[in-house]
Chains A and B, each alone.
Chain A
């Protein structure tokens, strides 16, 4: 018996050793396994238009996060559109917002990437550190704020005018509220929107304000309650906040946080929900109304083409409806009010034509007064002092002086529950 066991064990051990030996043999042959930083060694074919590209993507979470999944889909879409091979697109996740981001960036450079992209706000400091060290590699960062003040030739920020998408989604929400008022479900002055925010950042403030302005443009009695989870991804916290908002009288919920927490509560309680970064049509068919999303594929195509052609990438790049970066997802006809589609088409055309501005100062007040001048904190030196005049020609110029949002006015009609 013992002999039998021993011989089986030994046989297994031999197999294992062989496996390892074989695998490591193969490994030394892959150029990615070497320590050189020469992209020419990356083993990919040069594109006919010029430089070989290899793009490394750094994501905060895996694809269970809707936020990161949206970036991953954009990367895959860009890969397909540009006809890049699978080994020209490298993913790295989960990458923490800390030293791990620098390590991941350096590892991507080691693998021969000539573009490194990171998707989360907290990655920025570490991307800059890597950009300073690897000067022949382009570093692109979504949602960041420091490219225009760091003035590095190889470090760039990107974002999209998502406030336009949220404004459009807001119109659909406002029309839905109108429909519910007309059906006698609640009184006009009870048209309360609940908003689940992640952090009280400008990015989130800009988002919920544009959503609210869109809703109020069609439903003048609408008001909004906002609360924060202080996390970008927390199913439980988002669920809790959504439940609180509903118990405080919210008739419709939207969110700027990355989990399915809020939509699942809405589906349970039959409250209409406006989603972000994808659609929940299949999981929440009875309450999903509409969603807005940033499509990152146009930016990815742009940055890859720049490197291919040897052109400089914009320090700040802001995608718009026109570039295809701001997308309004499929409208749920089952939930939406009649005439929503037409209203959205008209508003989209007006936004494109520049005749409609989301942050038109005539449409909102702060402490009961119209805002005629505002210094926003566009240059982020950590001082939190505004230095750039952003109100000109009767509207707040969002995402023009840098790509990341800086609208942080707290307008009348929106109540921040975290401040109570």
Chain B
């Protein structure tokens, strides 16, 4: 350290560090950063739980893990929650890859569920069960597609803002469900009794297994579609640059509409699985905000269905684990929200450190 550089530094008041974009990061380094963020977040959460509820750190982790894995039923339920969240995330991913901000998955899945419930309500017991299943599947997929294609057509032909459009369609779907329930149920109880006799068949010991299997197949299918099919290539070109797409002769309007039809169809299937597979009834909260959580799953998973399995797992685990803590210690539900929020903050925040690096400025020289 020479006197001249020290003098120069004090004159120009150079900052202590600056941020530089990483050219490329080795996969294991990226995962180390993620793991470190997760560890740090858990430590912060344990400290918070200690401060707010006097929960010992070890008991905190035990409670969280028991909430997710404590019994065979809880494990199944965890994988079921993972599957449903993944299913909606798969649905929004092709649209996101195309840079079409479909935040209407909640409504698209809900309307698929409503179509399923309507079929069960009107045709249940009146047509043979196998035929009913065919009608349910067709109706739910169609309903999801209609809900998704309306904003797509407007975007493709008149360049309307798809973010607002798809968001508004959610509220239309939610109100429609509330309206239909009040139409079907005249007692004013506001709940439609389960129509379990017309539900999709159960595989094995519980109603969750069928959904898990269907969604596992869909995950592989979407992965192949995005990675290896011509459609998948076309939609990512449209996402990268519409002009390039036009130049190479891709029909952009067609790709937008086609991709959203697929997005809607997948949401419709999710609605079918939720209503026909497990719930056997519908309410405005059947999808339960998963349509919005799916956006995070898809982004965190970098639009890769395989990574999305991991991010869905993380969110499903957090949901079950954080709730268990509030129940075990008879604490207000806010504690589970706080825990979930802290962990997500770290996990999302660490992506910054994967994209960028902090360069310390030492005596005018850049250090690593």
**B187 (CB) vs chain A CBs: closest residue:** A384
Q: Which of A32-80 contact B (CB under 8 A)?
A: 32-35, 61-64, 72
Is A35 in contact with B367, judged by CB distance below 8 angstroms? Answer: no
Q: How far is the CB of A43 from chain B (nearest CB, A)?
A: 13
A6 to B368 Cα, complex, angstroms: 12
**A107 (CB) vs chain B CBs: closest residue:** B73
Is B188 in contact with A200, judged by CB distance below 8 angstroms? Answer: yes
A174 to B33 Cα, complex, angstroms: 67
Q: Does B191 belong to the interface (CB within 8 Å)?
A: yes
Q: Does A93 belong to the interface (CB within 8 Å)?
A: yes
Is A122 in contact with B71, judged by CB distance below 8 angstroms? Answer: no
Is A16 in contact with B193, judged by CB distance below 8 angstroms? Answer: no
Interface size bucket, A side? 35 or more
Is A199 in contact with B190, judged by CB distance below 8 angstroms? Answer: yes
**A16 (CB) vs chain B CBs: closest residue:** B39
A16 to B32 Cα, complex, angstroms: 12
A420 to B191 Cα, complex, angstroms: 24
Q: Does A96 belong to the interface (CB within 8 Å)?
A: yes
Q: Which of A7-37 contact B (CB under 8 A)?
A: 8-10, 12-13, 15-16, 19-20, 22-24, 26-27, 30, 32-35
A10 to B29 Cα, complex, angstroms: 11
Q: How far is the CB of A79 from chain B (nearest CB, A)?
A: 11
Q: Which of A122-160 contact B (CB under 8 A)?
A: 122, 125-126, 129
Could you give, for residues 92-104 of chain A, a 1 whenever the CB lies within 8 Å of some chain B CB and a 0 otherwise?
1110111100010
Is A16 in contact with B332, judged by CB distance below 8 angstroms? Answer: no
Known contacts: A107-B71, A121-B189. The answer to whether A33 contacts B66 by CB under 8 A is: yes
Is B36 in contact with A62, judged by CB distance below 8 angstroms? Answer: no
Q: Does B89 belong to the interface (CB within 8 Å)?
A: no
Contact of A9 among B36, B65, B326, B332 (CB under 8 A): B36
**B39 (CB) vs chain A CBs: closest residue:** A16
Known contacts: A92-B327, A199-B190, A201-B189. The answer to whether A99 contacts B280 by CB under 8 A is: yes
Known contacts: A62-B333, A93-B327, A97-B283. The answer to whether A33 contacts B61 by CB under 8 A is: no
Is B74 in contact with A107, judged by CB distance below 8 angstroms? Answer: yes
Q: Does A230 belong to the interface (CB within 8 Å)?
A: yes
Q: Does A110 belong to the interface (CB within 8 Å)?
A: yes
Known contacts: A62-B333, A92-B327. The answer to whether A13 contacts B32 by CB under 8 A is: yes
Q: Does B278 belong to the interface (CB within 8 Å)?
A: yes
Is B190 in contact with A230, judged by CB distance below 8 angstroms? Answer: yes
A6 to B283 Cα, complex, angstroms: 49
Is A33 in contact with B71, judged by CB distance below 8 angstroms? Answer: yes
Interface size bucket, B side? 35 or more
A-side contacts of B77, CB under 8 Å? 103
A27 to B301 Cα, complex, angstroms: 30
Could you give, for residues 177-189 of chain B, a 1 whenever the CB lies within 8 Å of some chain A CB and a 0 otherwise?
0000000001111
B-side contacts of A121, CB under 8 Å? 189
A282 to B288 Cα, complex, angstroms: 35
Is A91 in contact with B33, judged by CB distance below 8 angstroms? Answer: no
Q: Does A262 belong to the interface (CB within 8 Å)?
A: no
Q: Does B281 belong to the interface (CB within 8 Å)?
A: yes
Known contacts: A103-B77, A125-B193. The answer to whether A9 contacts B69 by CB under 8 A is: no
Is B33 in contact with A9, judged by CB distance below 8 angstroms? Answer: yes
Is A9 in contact with B367, judged by CB distance below 8 angstroms? Answer: no
Contact of A22 among B35, B38, B58, B332 (CB under 8 A): B58
Is B367 in contact with A1, judged by CB distance below 8 angstroms? Answer: yes
Is B70 in contact with A32, judged by CB distance below 8 angstroms? Answer: yes
**B324 (CB) vs chain A CBs: closest residue:** A92
B-side contacts of A201, CB under 8 Å? 187-189
A34 to B70 Cα, complex, angstroms: 7
With most chain B CB atoms within 10 A of its CB, the pick from A9, A20, A61, A63 is A9
Known contacts: A2-B368, A92-B327, A94-B333. The answer to whether A99 contacts B35 by CB under 8 A is: no
A-side contacts of B58, CB under 8 Å? 19, 22-23, 26
Q: How far is the CB of B194 from chain A (nearest CB, A)?
A: 6
Q: Does B13 belong to the interface (CB within 8 Å)?
A: no
B-side contacts of A10, CB under 8 Å? 32
Q: Using CB atoms and an 8 Å cutoff, list the residues of chain A in contact with chain B.
A: 1-2, 6, 8-10, 12-13, 15-16, 19-20, 22-24, 26-27, 30, 32-35, 61-64, 72, 90-94, 96-99, 103, 106-107, 110-111, 121-122, 125-126, 129, 199-201, 230, 382, 384
Q: Using CB atoms and an 8 Å cutoff, list the residues of chain B in contact with chain A.
A: 32-33, 35-36, 38-40, 42-43, 57-58, 61-62, 64-66, 69-74, 77, 186-191, 193-194, 196, 278-281, 283, 285-286, 288, 326-327, 330, 332-334, 360, 367-368
- 28 pairs of residues in contact across A and B, judged by CB atoms under 8 Å: A1-B367, A9-B33, A9-B35, A9-B36, A13-B32, A15-B43, A16-B35, A16-B38, A19-B58, A19-B61, A23-B58, A26-B58, A30-B62, A33-B66, A34-B71, A90-B327, A91-B327, A92-B327, A93-B333, A98-B285, A99-B279, A99-B280, A99-B281, A103-B73, A107-B74, A110-B73, A126-B194, A230-B190
Of all A-B residue pairs in the complex, the 9 with the closest CB atoms, nearest first, are: A62-B333, A16-B39, A23-B61, A9-B36, A35-B72, A12-B39, A122-B191, A99-B279, A1-B368
10 additional contacts (CB under 8 A) given A12-B35, A27-B62, A122-B191: A2-B368, A15-B43, A23-B61, A90-B327, A97-B283, A98-B279, A107-B71, A107-B74, A382-B187, A384-B186
